[in-house]
């Protein structure tokens, strides 16, 4: 990675935030890439007097292109194996800042949870420098490691450790291993990691604590709908708390956005940053990297958080969006990360010059097929319905492609594998009912989204698709509980529509608090 003057100047300004001295230790040994890595690290270290670099034997298990980041004279918890360029450059700089005492910007309750872990945890995260999801995962685990000396995290550039990638059967990034055992593949975050530790009995859940501050509204979800609601309510001078796994939600994973009116072109990452910046302009309490376990109904409602806190509130807005829909066929979950994937941008390079399938003929599926066609040998595009459902301009491009074969009226029945690697997908021709097998090495699932509504399934009415049923003002079946965005029954799942729905729902909440809330409390008391 070439470090240009403007970039170095920017990084240097970030290092002004360092509070403690940070030492980078480069493992001794020989490797073709070691000189490049050493030169790279020296340029970074030269940017601050609080940084230093030494060559030493960290541990024999590490490669000659492994380096650690630690406070001087203290044990290291964060390691990188490879040159942290591409999308991982930010992860590297943030790791230095967090080890050096700069705030992780995590909620106090989450920090307390992390610091209470008393088990020895050794994470390995295999990444691709071209992966857009990987940095979020790396940064999440690095934050955890920077807060607790019992926890270590090594980030490995899979492209430089092909033997290890093959040995572990990795076919998707990010792939996370904990104490040598596979933990998960794909997108994750701090609350999900903590939850997985609880499931493995590696972490004890602390008792819940009631927050005595009564909120006017708790917004659950940090995508366009949730942030829009928060801004509108804050402008009314209301006491608002927004709880989110991650700011941006599903939008953060979107590459190009060209249909947001007045914004000719942007990216999911840029839009997320803009949304977050707008949110921070207002007096809104933001609790990020936290999952809502459940909510309870009543005139005064309670929101139970994965951090152990219980929030009390007059109203709730559910804006939790949606997630990738699964095929739910044999072989899908079993081969996740071993040939089954949901992000063509992240995992496409693993299948260079190989045959793959994309299941789903809507815009997402067709776009994925077109993206992959420039990398792989052949793409089989599988659609359940008689015709592709994507926009005409995308379908026309598919017709022009020489290595995309379209299968319509085709049901995906089973993903087959051998020795931990995908070898094909069994399909059914829905016209003649005959089964056939497409030989391939990867299956990318692009069949739409599932609403994130399970945690309120026993509280509000859902439709057959799991969407929260709302009226034209965002009201659910329970007074004082509202919903907006992709988690609801609104017919069109678009960013601009979610923003509008969020604003409309916020106005509905404000109206309820002015006109109805006090009378509801009186009735309940009687």
Give the 3-state secondary structure of residue 46. Answer: coil
d(CA 82, CA 33): 8
Rg of the chain over Cα atoms, rounded to whole angstroms, equals 24
d(CA 380, CA 405): 5
- Residue 157 appears among annotated catalytic residues: no
- Residue 347 appears among annotated catalytic residues: yes
d(CA 138, CA 126): 9
One-letter-per-residue 3-state SS of 80-125: EECCCCHHHHHHHHHHHHHHCCCCCCCCHHHHHHHHCCCCCEEEEE
d(CA 389, CA 448): 12
Pick the catalytic residue from 217, 343, 427, 484: 343
Residue 245 in contact with residue 290, Cβ under 8 Å?
yes
15, burial (CB in 10 Å: exposed 0-12, middle 13-18, buried 19+):
buried
State the number of CA atoms in the 13 A half-sphere of 117 facing the CB.
Answer: 27
Residue 323 in contact with residue 452, Cβ under 8 Å?
yes
State the number of CA atoms in the 13 A half-sphere of 48 facing the CB.
Answer: 26
Give the 3-state secondary structure of residue 348. Answer: helix
Question: Which residues make beta-bridge pairs with 443?
Answer: 340, 357
Residue 366 in contact with residue 394, Cβ under 8 Å?
yes
Q: What is the DSSP letter of 208?
A: P
Q: Phi, psi (5° rounding) for residue 118?
A: -115, 5
d(CA 289, CA 245): 4
Helical ranges in 236-284 per DSSP H: 268-280
Residue 127 in contact with residue 173, Cβ under 8 Å?
yes
Pick the catalytic residue from 157, 216, 347, 486: 347
Give the 3-state secondary structure of residue 179. Answer: coil
Give the 3-state secondary structure of residue 416. Answer: strand
Q: Which of 70, 84, 81, 57 is nearest to 23 (CA)?
A: 70
> Which residues, in sequence order, are CB contacts of 294 under 8 Å at separation 6+?
304, 455, 456
Query: How many residues in the chain?
Result: 526
Pick the catalytic residue from 153, 346, 427, 484: 346
Q: Which of 267, 283, 116 is nearest to 202 (CA)?
A: 116
54, burial (CB in 10 Å: exposed 0-12, middle 13-18, buried 19+):
exposed
Active-site residues, by number, are 343, 346-347
């Amino acid at each position: 990675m070439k470090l240009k003057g403007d970039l170095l100047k920017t990084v240097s300004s970030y290092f002004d935030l360092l509070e403690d001295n940070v030492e980078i230790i480069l493992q001794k040994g020989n490797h073709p890439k070691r000189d490049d890595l050493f030169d790279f690290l020296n340029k970074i270290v030269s940017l601050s007097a609080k940084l230093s670099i030494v060559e030493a034997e960290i541990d024999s298990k590490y490669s000659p292109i492994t380096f650690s980041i630690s406070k001087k004279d203290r044990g290291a918890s964060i390691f990188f194996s490879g040159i942290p360029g591409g999308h991982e450059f930010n992860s590297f700089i943030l790791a230095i800042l967090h080890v050096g005492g700069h705030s992780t910007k995590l909620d106090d309750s989450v920090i307390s949870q992390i610091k209470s872990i008393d088990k020895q945890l050794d994470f390995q995260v295999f990444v691709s420098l071209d992966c857009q999801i990987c940095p979020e995962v790396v940064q999440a685990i690095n934050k955890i490691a920077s807060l607790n000396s019992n926890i270590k995290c090594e980030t490995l550039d899979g492209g430089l450790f092909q033997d290890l990638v093959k040995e572990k059967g990795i076919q998707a990034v990010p792939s996370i291993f904990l104490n040598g055992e596979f933990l998960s593949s794909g997108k994750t975050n701090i609350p999900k990691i903590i939850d997985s530790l609880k499931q493995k009995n590696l972490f004890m859940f602390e008792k819940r604590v009631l927050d005595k501050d009564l909120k006017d509204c708790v917004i659950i979800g940090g995508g366009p709908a949730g942030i829009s609601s928060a801004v509108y309510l804050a402008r009314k001078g209301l006491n608002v708390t927004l709880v989110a796994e991650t700011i941006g939600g599903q939008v953060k994973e979107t590459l190009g956005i060209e249909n947001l009116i007045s914004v000719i072109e942007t990216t999911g990452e840029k839009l997320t940053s803009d949304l977050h910046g707008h949110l921070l302009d207002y007096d809104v309490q933001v609790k990020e990297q936290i999952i809502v376990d459940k909510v309870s109904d009543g005139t005064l409602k309670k929101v139970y958080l994965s951090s152990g806190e219980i929030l009390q509130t007059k109203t709730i807005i559910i804006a939790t969006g949606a997630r990738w829909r699964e095929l739910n066929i044999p072989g899908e979950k079993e081969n996740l990360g071993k040939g089954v994937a949901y992000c063509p941008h992240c995992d496409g390079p693993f299948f260079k010059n190989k045959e793959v399938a994309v299941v789903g003929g809507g815009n997402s599926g067709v776009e994925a097929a077109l993206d992959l066609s420039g990398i792989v040998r052949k793409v089989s595009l599988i659609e359940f319905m008689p015709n592709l459902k994507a926009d005409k301009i995308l379908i026309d491009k598919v017709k022009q492609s020489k290595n995309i074969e379209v299968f319509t009226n085709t049901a995906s029945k089973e993903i087959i594998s051998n020795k931990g690697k995908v070898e094909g997908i069994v399909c059914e021709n829905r016209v003649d009912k005959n089964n056939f097998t497409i030989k391939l090495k990867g299956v990318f699932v692009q069949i739409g989204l599932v609403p994130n509504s399970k945690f309120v399934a026993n509280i509000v009415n859902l439709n057959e698709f799991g969407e929260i049923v709302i009226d034209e003002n965002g009201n659910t079946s329970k007074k004082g509980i509202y919903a907006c965005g992709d988690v609801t029954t609104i017919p069109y799942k678009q960013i601009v529509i979610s923003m509008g729905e969020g604003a409309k729902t916020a106005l509905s909440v404000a109206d309820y608090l002015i006109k109805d809330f006090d009378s509801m409390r009186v009735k309940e008391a009687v």
